[in-house]
Amino acid sequence: MISAFRCLGFFLLAAAGAAQADEPYTWKNVTVGGGGFSPGIAFSPAEKGLAYLRTDIGGAYRWDDRAKRWIPIEDGIDRGEYMEVESIAPDPADPNVVYLAAGTREAAAILRSRDRGTHWQIFPTRFKMGGNEAGRGLGERLAVDPNDTSLLYFGSRNDGLEKSADAGANWSPILSFPQKGLGIRPRGDAPNAGLSFVLFVPSGEKKNIPTRTIVVASADPGVRHLFRSDDAGESWTPVPGEPRGDLLPVKAAFDGKNTVYIAYSNSIGPNGATDGAVFKLDVASNRMTDITPDRDAKRPPGGYMAIDADRAHPGTAVVATLNRYHPKDTVWRTTDGGITWKSLEELSHRDVSATPFLIWGHQWGNTEADFGWWIAALAIDPFDSGHVAYTTGATVYATDELRNADARQPLIWKPWVAGVEETAILALTSPASGPHLVSGFGDIAGFVHDDLDRSPDTLFTDPIFSNTNTIDYAGMAPNVLVRGGTAAPRAKGYSPTLAYSLDSGKSWAPLVVPPLRGTNDKGEIEARHYDAEGDAAVVVSADGATFVVMTPVPLLTRDRGATWTALSTLPMWAHVVADRVDSKRFYAVDFANGTIRASDDGGATFATLDTTGLSVDPHTDWPTWREAQWPLMATPGIAGDLWFRTGAGRLLHSADGGRSFREVVIHMNIEALGFGKAPPASTYPALFSFGWQGQIRGVWRSDDAGRDWKRINDDAHQYGRRFRSICGDPRIFGRVYLGTDGRGLFYGDPVK
């Protein structure tokens, strides 16, 4: 349990005196396994079985070798910026010490832990970071001097090379370094990569004597990119013999003897690389040698990024391609210092039985999970040369069989993600029967969760979406589900972005919406598939018979999409909400006039109600993006019961079908609302929310229709306060499902 206090210019997160929940809850991830981009992985050189993983939006993890799972080590962090990890550095001498460089251009800090990430000291920095920007796979930017572990260097994006002499607490620029930084570019422009890696090259210095040789690279445009110091950072000289100027040094590894291996790409990644190279630097002679694995003139487009060297076997190194989509990315391995290389992809097989959703490409003929893309990190275990891991855009793969790469049997890779849940959850629903949870994810579509503690067999298919932005179920026929989202990346031409299921999500069918004719920006009349853009939500009537799709003119179908009717009695861009009990009742907010329109004939016509107590601001109450929860919601199990959540976080309730609303006095700013099972001795559903009460952004439950709220998370379960979606379970009192932006999906239950 973690609290924050100010002390000597930094923040300390400590166990004592943590803020408790008003009602204690246990929190546990709904198991999916991986799911997102992890740009960095680092084995501790100080202890066997210890490793760290950094993600771009979900914080960092520590591998617990005894438990055989990854342990999240930033769940008590209360700033979302610090969940975006730019670099990670285990102390090379003390296995208990680890550092993170985390943050954004808004806020950044160095985090130091002396107990493997259980508690953190946080040192805000003047230099900014980009943990989720382009170039987040570079590195590692943060490095600890192995001879004097109080010395840290950081290669910043915009402010040149930084140094700390007190274990990360205070930082100052190294003015002698030739690259001063280009400054922060305007948001929307391509970000500066800045200095891509810092590498200490020890050569027998005594303990507490700073390492004399340091290699630092710049991935910004320029003539010179690679620099070295041989006097512990006092002076710097460019390394001669680099490849042509458009190839940027992105990552490097030292073999522990005399060689630095360097990966080059013409992009800072994770996208855009079309060419690259691999060089090695002989530290003693300062000589660079081109050892690029594939130098064929007809080689596939793509660069290189992830790289590591086997310190137990000098001359052995591995490097991964980047953006080599045709045919696919691979990992190259050399055992003779780069004279010859062998591609491992053709020798490999992926066993994804622990996370079977990774074979999501079966609709395009895939028989096993892809080898991977966005391979930004690759690491050889310093205590076991056969154990190697690499990260992809969706998972982390590992094998214990690298030493068998020269044999004929397949090299087996398995997801190394037990405990890792790094996803963004866009939509949630808990139907009254069937599976307890159905989810909408960013990038990996979404799932029906029949078992909360096991990775689902498959993600949503037929059709596959990239993002699932909305999910709805029929209030009185929960087996009927509808979903809307964004077309998958491989979809060509018009691809449906709406789907329905009649069997609680076990199977799906596309919902095809006709194009609408209208005037485009040039004043021309055109037919346009508005649903193809991913903005068209879909809802279902209480009996499951009627679907309404929110195109500019809402469209209704009663025959699963065979025919459609335009709802001409609604304003443009209206969003329809179905009553959860009465299949004939639908509602919509008329934002322009601040009223409710209702239908009691199954959506055929809508009439304006003489609504009282509702004040609608079209500028603040209208959701600004497709993934935002709609402000008008119908209560499960009660006909005519509605809630309206304003853009300012006020909560209004109607018990008469939208004819009158009253504000619930809660002294809170409600950001999202969900419904659960009624508490004992009550018939009204429990309400769940996340939002602000004073200075606390937390997760809350109300058992009295919104009048009083209890905080149900504590300071040890904050997840950067990156809460994104919420719903209760209608069959289990107190259970709540919480979607985060980066730390995956949780279920919480009251402590018994």
Please write the tens of the pLDDT for every residue from 234-251: 999 999 999 999 999 999
Closest among 61, 100, 62 to 81, alpha carbons compared: 100
Contacts of 373 (CB under 8 A, 6+ apart): 323, 325, 328, 329, 392, 393
CATH homologous superfamily of 239-420 equals YVTN repeat-like/Quinoprotein amine dehydrogenase (2.130.10.10)
User: Under a CB-based contact definition with an 8 Å cutoff, are residues 429 and 412 in contact?
Assistant: no
pLDDT digits (tens, 9 = 90+) for 440-463: 999 999 999 999 999 999 999 989
pLDDT of residue 152: 98
User: Under a CB-based contact definition with an 8 Å cutoff, are residues 457 and 522 in contact?
Assistant: no
* Regions of the chain short of the pLDDT cut 50: 1-17, 364
Q: Can you tell me whether residue 705 is helix, strand or coil?
A: coil
The length of the chain in residues reads 752
- pTM higher than 0.85, yes or no? yes
User: What whole-number distance in Å separates Cα of residue 674 and Cα of residue 712?
Assistant: 14
pLDDT of residue 366: 66
- The verdict on whether 590 is a catalytic residue reads no
pLDDT of residue 331: 97
Closest among 685, 683, 684, 743 to 713, alpha carbons compared: 743
DSSP state of 62: E
pLDDT of residue 14: 38
User: What whole-number distance in Å separates Cα of residue 92 and Cα of residue 748?
Assistant: 38
Instruction: Specify the residue for token string 């700390």.
Output: 164
Q: Which of 94, 443, 450, 543 is catalytic?
A: 443
Token duo for residue 159: 């402010």
b/e map 517-548, b = 16+ CB within 10 Å:
eeeeeeeeeeeebbbbebbbbbbbbbbbbbbb
- The verdict on whether 56 is a catalytic residue reads yes
DSSP state of 80: G
Q: Can you tell me whether residue 254 is helix, strand or coil?
A: strand
Token duo for residue 469: 């932005």
Closest among 153, 143, 132, 145 to 86, alpha carbons compared: 132
